[in-house]
Structure formats: structure tokens, C-alpha cells
Structure 1
Amino acid sequence: MNGKCDILIVYLYVDDLIITGNCVKMFNDFKKEMTNEFEMTDIGLMSYYLGIEVKQRDDGIFISQEAYTKEVLKRFNMENCNPISIPIEVEKKLSRHVKEGPIDRTLFRSLVGSLRYLTCTRPDILYAVGYISRYMENPTTYHFKVAKRILRYIKGTIDLGIFYPASAAFTWTSKKQPIVTLSTCEAEYVAVTSTVCHAIWLRSLLKELSFIQDESTQIYVDNKSAITLAKNPVFHDRSKHIDTRYHFIRESIAKKEVQVKFVKSKDQVANIFTKPLASKSYRVDWE
């Protein structure tokens, strides 16, 4: 890194290098040094890599998997299927105990694996794919139909992807909580604490890159009780059974590293990662 604004990032995959950054001089100097040291071939700007298409623009980068999506649809004979508006029904409840015949495990796992790779640029299918992934051990034709429904959804949204604006950092994750909670408030509180820990880590990482954040990181929560619990330094009956480490959020708020704000559930964009949504709510601002 040279100065406060110049960054060079190098990705290594087996014997391939991907170089990116915001300083042309650093980029050219590194490329020249590597070419002199090793026998390498410059294939130019990256536009397609491991099934991911990259379109560089003046205001940022757009990544998608349109070509890979078409390959997946063709592989499972769904290239001519009728598209639908949501990947999974809102009231859909899957179970291991269904009265339908078994399906070939290899076929089902191949479909799920292909869909999981698509989540690299399609977080809108993350919940649905994670849901059907629970039934790979003994899948049935019922589970296979649910998985193919996701293919029908991506058939109608084949050109979607993620747009990264210039000079913007973006990270997301979705996983089950490691503990059993006794209420919705407690579940939200634990989730917020986990988010705060990740935010603090990102702030520290950006600081190492000389991008210091003076303002508090905004954490949006759609549960007022969890917000009240996070801001209240006094332990009482509602929180005395919660593990002490989950109260880390209170210290972060006191230091003004983060700020917890309320957001209505209908405006909580993170819901797309955690639950099935109706078609009118299934909106993502891709650009």
C-alpha cells in the first residue's frame, strides 16, 4: 500500500493471479515485477472466471453468472420452463417424512451444489437453497420438485447479479444461531451482537487499510425490545440468563463504534436471507 488511498489486491487461485486496485502505477509495477520473476501470460481484463462474469464500469463492477445459469438450466432440462416470481412458497414446510418416492441422491446433490454456487452472485436464492440443502441425505421427488422451483425462478431472473459501487465494501452471511433462545427478543439480541462483532472486525480491517471510520456503524434492527435490551446497561430478569459474551454490544454502543437503529420489518432487506417472502416483498435493489 502506498499512501492512504492507493490499494493493490492480489487473489491467487492455484496458478492464476487476479490483480485489482485503484492505483494504475502500483498495478503496472506489480505486473512488471511478476512478469520478470515468473513466466506468466497477461490475459487482460477479467470478464469471465470460474463461471462468474465481470463487467467493469466507471462507477463500479457488476458481477453475474448468466452463462453458468443457462448451463444449469440446460443440464436439468429446465431451459424452456415457465418462470415464477419467488423461489420458494411462503408457507412451504419441508420434512424428511414425506410419502413420496426417493430420488437419485447424486442427481439431487448435483442440483443443490449448482444452486449453491449460484448464490455467489444471487443472494436472493440463499434462503431457499439453504432450506433444501438440509435434505440431501435422503431426498425424495417432493424435495426435488421444490429444488426445481428455484430453477424456474432463476429462469425469469437470469440476468440478475450484484453491483459493487466504486470504493464500497460489502459483506453478508447467513447461518443458524449457535444457541437456543427463549424468545424472539433474545434471538434478535443474539443476532445483533453477532452483527456488531462482524462490524467491529470490518472497521478494524478498514483501519489497517487507512480507511478510518469516524462515525458509528449503523446496525438496523426490526425488534424494539432487542434495541432496548442492547442499550440498557442494567441486568434484569429478562437478560440475566443470556451468556455474558452477548452483552458485548452494550460496550460497543457506549464507545460509539456502532449505533442501533429501528427499521420496520417490511423495510428490513436482510429478511431475504432468513425467511421466504411474498412476491410483493421480494424486491432487491441490484443497481
Structure 2
Amino acid sequence: MTEEFRALIKNGTWELVPRTPDMNIIRSMWIFKHKFRANGLFERYKARLVGDGRSKQVGIDCTETFSPVVKPATIRTVLSLALQNSWSIHQLDVKNAFLHGTLSETAPRAWYQRFTEYVSRLGFIHSKCDHSLFIYKHGTDTAYIVLYVDDIILTASSKSLKDMIMRHLDAEFSMMDLGQLSSFLGISVTHTPTGLFLNQATYARDILERADMLHCKPAKTPVDTKSKLSARAGPVFHDPSFFRSMAGALQYLTFTRPDISYAVQQICLHMHAPHDGHMGALKRILRYIHGTIDHGIYLSKSPSRSLVAYTDADWAGCPDTRRSTSGYCVYLGDNLISWSSKRQPTLSRSSAEAEYRGVANVVSESCWLRNLLLELHQPVRKATIVYCDNVSAIFLSSNPVQHQRTKHIELDIHFVREYVARGQVRVFHVPS
């Protein structure tokens, strides 16, 4: 508490002003926490003096209350590049991050703006692909900063550059060097001779405990092979708030678990009105997690820097809307860096159309990744290879002739043809 209070005074957090009749007074309170590492071991005690959010009035005391956060694919891409270049990866923590902001309004995102302005003065360029990524390039010296609110990943091409950046940051802000990256956003990072293993076992165990399923019988797969659940799968579930809480928690677990991405997407379709059948599907995922709790994703020092993607789709799979679900995964060299499972926004008149929309989704993601890698000064020299199991969709991606069955497809989907014609994307067949 003393350390927290001294930081408040040092940063000039408040000044006393006369109370006016139109002021809404927000009381302050102390919050005490035990902070744990990603492996579950106790790290330190934390005390925070905060304003009681329950007494705030929206529109008077606050408007937007979010901070920009880094995309998961950006984190995996930066880590992959650091491994390929044999750069050290450090983790920094900012003490009292929000207090470092200089307020120009009553409720700002001041910390993010202050940090952005300062690292720009150090020579970092703000990424256009991801607003929480900062890139430093001077001659042969390269460094990346990934910012997630007040957690920072720093990787640099040399120890002297890394030390220089950390000295500047510590002089401007109150920084804590946590050493080599070991945990980030509740994700455990294990270093091996050939790469990094990302795992959320502690977080997964917390989810199982909240669901009272720590001792359940494990399932071998996250979803069964029966028909998809409809919107009215059995009686209405008695506790929809619990269902939403569990589904939201599982969404964050997909950060390192692409194997549950599709199953989680299916239950999230019913968060607005869950039924007993949907809860049964959610429990199936939890049982699968119980049996695979130590699973995660491995990033290795890959010799290749090519982008290779796989995409697939089911046609009219949703029993209620008859919309299709498409999914993809993208590899940078040997490392899986991006994946998605999503219901398509419109109806498809054929399986070829559904697959073609899936190809368009993964090409869009690949274009973003190519631009990101270009900003990181690690451009992809070869065309992105996209594998699809539908021959008709492959013909659609390269054939400019409009047939009777395809002339209704929106023009924005046909941007795939443009990238194929440019030679930036090549679409090939792969067996189911």
C-alpha cells in the first residue's frame, strides 16, 4: 500500500479542486490481490487504490473505457521472427501504467497515447497493421515492441540495442524487467533448444474449476460427429449468464488451442439464448480440455519464411440459417500463426461458392500477414500458397469468366482473382 501511495504522489495523480453542484463524487477503495505466474506459483502481493466504478455515470464520468490491444496473430508472428533470427525475447511490466498519462480530458486513454509518443521519439515506427506494435529499424539494428495495455514484449537484434531501449523506457516510466519471456497474458512460455512452447494449462484448470469439472471423465474429441445443434436444442438452459461466462472464457483459451477453435465457435453462436443441448456441447469441450490440459502450440526456429494456408468449408451446415461455416489456418514456415472458424455472413447456393468464400477469407488474412511482415522488415518473397479441397473453387479463383452459377457472387469476393493474377497467391488442390 505504501509503494502504491508513493507512486500516486510521485506521478502527481490528483489535485484538489472545489466541489461543484454538478459533480458526481466517486469514492475510492483499496483492492488487494495475489499475483501468480502462468505456472500457478505465487509471485507477489499487489495493492491498488482505485475509483469505485459502480458509482460512475456513463457520459459524465466516462465514455470509452477500452485500450487498444495487440492481435494474437501479431504476437505469434513476432515470436516466430525472433526465433528465426535468434533474438532474445524480454518481458517488461509497467508500474502504475495509467498514472503515466498526461490528462487532456476527464476520461482518456492517456497511457497508450503517452507511450506511443515516447517510443516514437526513440525512433520506433507505429505499425499500420496493428496499433499495438512498434518497430525500430536503423541500419542493421532492429527491434519490436508488442504492447498489451501495460504488459510489454521486447525483442531486439542485439543485446546492446535491447539494453539501450530498456534504459530509455525505465528512465521515462517506472519499468520492471521480468527477464526472459516466461509468461504473458496468462500464457506460459517454455523455452526449448529449438523453440517456444505456448500453453494455458493454469487458465484451463481455472475454467474447469469454475465449471466444477476438475474431476470429470475426459473426452477424446471436442465435438461429436452428429448433426449441428439448432437454436432450440432442448429446454432453455436455467443459467444463461454462466453459459456466456464459460463460452467467453473458452474463447480466450483458443489463443494457444486451435484444436478447439471450431467447437468453441459453434457454442458461441448460441450465447444469446442457450439451451440444454448447447450446455451439453460446452461440457463436451471442457471434458476434452480436461484430457488435453497440457496441450498448446509450439513455435520453432523454422528455416522457411513462406506463407502456406489451408481452408475448408461446409455447405449449408447451420440447421437454422443454412449458412456455411468456413475455417482456415496459416503457417509462417513451420509455425502456425493464424487460424479462424467462422459462420459465413450470407447464404451460398453451392458447395463451390461456400468453399470460394473460405478461400477469400484466408487470402484476406494472408494479405494482412504479408503487409505485417513487410512492416517488420521481413518481407515474404514468394507467393502465398492456399490449399483447398474443392476443384470448382480453385477454378473460380483463376478463371475470369462469369458463369450462370457464379454471376451473383459479390465483386468483393473476386479480389482473390486479382491476387492470383498478380502472382501473390496460388491456389492448389489438396485431398479432403
TM-score normalised per structure 1: 0.84
Residue pairs, 1:1-287, within 5 angstroms: 1-2=136-137, 6-100=141-235, 102-166=237-301, 169=332, 170-265=337-432
CA contact (8 A) 1:230 1:250 kept: yes
Q: Which amino acid aligns with 1:96?
A: A
Question: What's the offset of the Cα at 1:182?
Answer: 0.9
> Between Structure 1 and Structure 2, how many residues are aligned?
265
2:215 and 2:138 mapped to 1: Cα distance?
53
**CA separation of 1:241 and 1:135: change in aligned 2, threshold 3 A:** closer
Deviation at 1:146, TM superposition (A): 1.8
SS state of the match for residue 80, structure 1?
coil
Whichever of the two has the greater Rg, that structure is 2
Matched letter for residue 258 of structure 2: P
Residues 151 and 184 of structure 2 are in contact (CA less than 8 Å); yes or no, is this contact kept in structure 1?
A: no
* Whole-angstrom CA distance in 2 between matches of 1:94 and 1:9: 44
C-alpha distance in 2 between matches for 1:101 and 1:210: 53
In structure 2, relative to structure 1, the CA distance for the partners of 1:155 and 1:5 (3 Å cut) is: farther
Moved more, 210-219 or 122-131: 210-219
Deviations 1:179-221 (A, max 9, x none): 3221111111122123223222322322232223222110101
| Cα deviation digits, residues 51-102 of structure 1 (max 9, x gap) | 2111123422211101111122122221111111101111143233244353
Among all aligned residue pairs of Structure 1 and Structure 2, give the percentage whose two residues are the same amino acid. Answer: 42
> Does the 8 Å contact 1:4/1:211 carry over to 2?
no
- Residue type matched to 1:37 in 2? E
Distance 1:39 1:91 in 2: 55
Label 1:50 to 1:244 Cα distance change in 2 as closer, same or farther (>3 A): closer
Shift in alpha-carbon separation, 1:210–1:40, aligned structure 2, 3 A:
closer
| Structure 2 SS opposite 1:62 | strand
1:93–1:196 Cα change, 3 Å: closer
Looking at structure 2, the residues matched to 106 and 21 of structure 1 have their Cα atoms a distance apart, in angstroms, of 44
Opposite residue 126 of structure 1, the aligned amino acid is S
Is the alpha carbon distance of 1:139 and 1:243 closer, same or farther for their aligned partners in structure 2, counting shifts above 3 Å? closer
Partner Cα separation in structure 2 for residue 176 and residue 93 of structure 1? 13
Q: Which amino acid aligns with 2:270?
A: Y
SS in 1 for 2:338: coil
- Compared CA separation, residues 204 and 186, structure 1 to 2 (3 A): same
Alpha carbons 2:234, 2:276 under 8 Å: kept: no
Does structure 2 conserve the Cα–Cα contact (< 8 Å) formed by 1:4 and 1:209? no
For structure 1, the 5+ residue unaligned runs are 266-287
Q: Confirm or deny: 8 A CA contact 2:199 2:297 kept in the other structure.
A: yes
- How far residue 11 of structure 1 moved from its aligned partner, in angstroms, is 2.3
Mark the CA change 1:154 to 1:186 in structure 2 (over 3 Å): closer, same or farther: same
| Contact persistence 2:386–2:428 (CA under 8 A) | yes
Q: 1:42 to 1:227 in 2, by over 3 A?
A: same
What is the CA deviation profile of residues 149-171 of structure 1, one whole-angstrom value per residue up to 9, with x for unaligned ones?
Answer: 11110111111101122366422
1-side partners of 2:150 and 2:375: how far apart? 28
RMSD value, Cα: 2.1
Q: Larger helix proportion, structure 1 or 2?
A: 1
Amino acid at match of 1:214: R
Q: 1:24 to 1:166 in 2, by over 3 A?
A: farther
Determine helix, strand or coil for the equivalent of 1:259: strand
The separation in 2 between residues aligned to 1:260 and 1:173, in whole angstroms, is: 19
